[in-house]
Structure 1
């Protein structure tokens, strides 16, 4: 069964709240919603949203920064492999 955008938002909410300042949580969730829509446009119709692994990589690289989240989410939609390599490199350190 497909998961709707509101359910994804709810599922991500606590994780985003732990990673970002309170004043940025709603904006970060809004951005991930936009990234989901862009992902679907680029990789759909089967891909309805960012895969969990891509979200993991984005959040790791953003490191709680809203500006970084914007830039990294955009790059992930353009070519998620670049984000994957950068996240894997950071994890290996």
Structure 2
């Protein structure tokens, strides 16, 4: 079975996967990369420690695919919030 490495980029850090995982095929490796990225992203996004997580997948050392997950939060301006609060009180 092919061996895949899942390297993680998080908040400027690179965590190399020294121990490859065997997967039946590239489709299974892709699913694993998405699940891994989503799991890490959930933890770091909620804690606020990162806004982007990337999983670089290598097959037998060669680039295979990249999963990139980014969080973009846009808050309303403070003046808008004050105005809305005032309108609710009316």
**Structure with the greater relative contact order (CA < 8 A, sep ≥ 6): 1 or 2?**
2
Answer yes or no: same fold by TM over 0.5: no
Q: What TM-score, normalized to structure 2?
A: 0.31
Q: Which of 1 and 2 has greater Rg?
A: 2
- Higher normalized helix content (fraction of residues): 1
- Higher normalized strand content (fraction of residues): 2
Q: What TM-score, normalized to structure 1?
A: 0.30
